[in-house]
A and B are shown apart, each in its own frame.
Chain A
Amino acid sequence: MIDEKILVWRFNRGSKDALKMLYEKYKDDLLGLAITLLRDRSLAEDVVHDVFVSFAGTTGSFRLSGTLKGYLSTCVANAARDRNRSRSRRDVGLEAAEAMDCDSGDPVEHAIDSEQSGRLMQLLGHLPYEQREVVVLHLHQEMRFKEIAEALGISINTVQSRYRYGLEKLRSIISSMVTK
């Protein structure tokens, strides 16, 4: 934590080494988050790229309140939501988007499988984007409900209900898979 604050301080003083170290520290985690949310590695890489470039542009004026991991995760989640919206608009319709999401034969799914994360990705792919977002931010990025609510601009009750519905849906899917 102290190391992180020192790195942020050095970053604010214009140190490229500090920026590189921060990138190295969080890149894999943020890419995992973006892939889980978007289910598209190429889009996810673009999101992480954009988030870091924006972050780099705040040098000299960046003020950290909370953890840097939480801040960057929020940025990735917001950018991923924007990408998801524009992707949905670009596709033929919501039905087509959902069909693509649930299609296990998608090449993207194979790419994710090759990273030994396919099982979870497939499961989370059944959730609506809003529920998936909350579940991943809470369980994988270790953000508290209050933090998520502030980051997404919604009430804490909405966050909790999305989380609860998401888990129930996942539980029922897993149960049906086990009974088969």
Chain B
Amino acid sequence: MKPTENIEEFLKLEKPHVTTGGEMDKRTLDDSFAAMDDTIRGNKTNAAGILLRSRAARLAAAAAIIVAIGLLMVYRNPPVPQQPLQTTSVAKSPADMLTAMSLNMAWRRGGIEAVDDQSSKAFKMLGSKPTRASIQELLVELNGV
């Protein structure tokens, strides 16, 4: 083929065939591996650095840690379910409670006679509407005077 006829084909056929030397291969590969290692190390530290540099990310990380610790504690020490209150052991009203206390104190002061006397006074004072008794009246009843 004459090169003047088809210069493009000629140039394609004449493409240079060169080969790299062993020294160049070693130098290039060694430096490339080192660059690769640097990049991989850099990527790892960058991810941590971004987290530590950003204030919002820092707060989010702290919140996440607190939540994680909280969840861990909850799962490790589950709360004991509370027993429902026995309504029967609770006084129905302050008036009832104070009345009972006044009877108790009357027993200590003067035995069954004092209790009887205190009961009479209480029934007389409270009558059929004990919830309307004033604090003052209740205190008077409690003290027994």
Chain B binds chain A: yes
User: Chain A interface (Cβ within 8 Å of chain B)?
Assistant: 14, 16, 19-20, 23, 27-28, 31-32, 35-36, 45, 48-49, 52-60, 112, 115-117, 119-121, 135, 139-140, 167, 170-171, 174-175, 178
Whether A57 and B35, one on each chain, are in contact in the complex, defined by CB atoms closer than 8 angstroms, is yes
Q: Known contacts A57-B38, A167-B7; is A16 also within 8 Å of B33 by CB?
A: yes
Q: Known contacts A49-B24, A56-B36; is A117 also within 8 Å of B7 by CB?
A: no
Interface centre among B11, B12, B16, B21 (most CB of A within 10 A): B16
Q: Known contacts A28-B18, A167-B8; is A14 also within 8 Å of B28 by CB?
A: no
Interface centre among A14, A16, A48, A53 (most CB of B within 10 A): A53
Residue on A nearest B13 in the bound complex, by CB: A120
Whether A14 and B36, one on each chain, are in contact in the complex, defined by CB atoms closer than 8 angstroms, is yes
Shortest 5 CB-CB distances between A and B: which pairs? Answer: A117-B16, A56-B32, A120-B14, A56-B35, A57-B35
The complex places the Cα of A103 from the Cα of B107 at a distance, in Å, of 133
Whether A59 and B24, one on each chain, are in contact in the complex, defined by CB atoms closer than 8 angstroms, is no
**Nearest Cβ distance between residue A86 and chain B, in whole angstroms?**
20
Whether A140 and B36, one on each chain, are in contact in the complex, defined by CB atoms closer than 8 angstroms, is no
**A contact face: mostly helix, strand, loop, or mixed:** helix
**Nearest Cβ distance between residue B46 and chain A, in whole angstroms?**
11
Whether B36 and A32, one on each chain, are in contact in the complex, defined by CB atoms closer than 8 angstroms, is no
Residue on B nearest A163 in the bound complex, by CB: B8
Whether B11 and A117, one on each chain, are in contact in the complex, defined by CB atoms closer than 8 angstroms, is no
Q: Is B31 in contact with chain A by the CB < 8 A criterion?
A: yes
Whether B20 and A119, one on each chain, are in contact in the complex, defined by CB atoms closer than 8 angstroms, is no
| Neighbour of B31 across the interface among A35, A49, A119, CB < 8 A | A49
Residue on B nearest A45 in the bound complex, by CB: B24
Q: Is B4 in contact with chain A by the CB < 8 A criterion?
A: yes
Whether A115 and B17, one on each chain, are in contact in the complex, defined by CB atoms closer than 8 angstroms, is yes
Interface centre among A14, A28, A112, A139 (most CB of B within 10 A): A139
* Chain A hits for B12, CB < 8 A: 139-140
| Neighbour of B16 across the interface among A27, A36, A53, CB < 8 A | A36
| Neighbour of A60 across the interface among B14, B17, B29, B40, CB < 8 A | B40
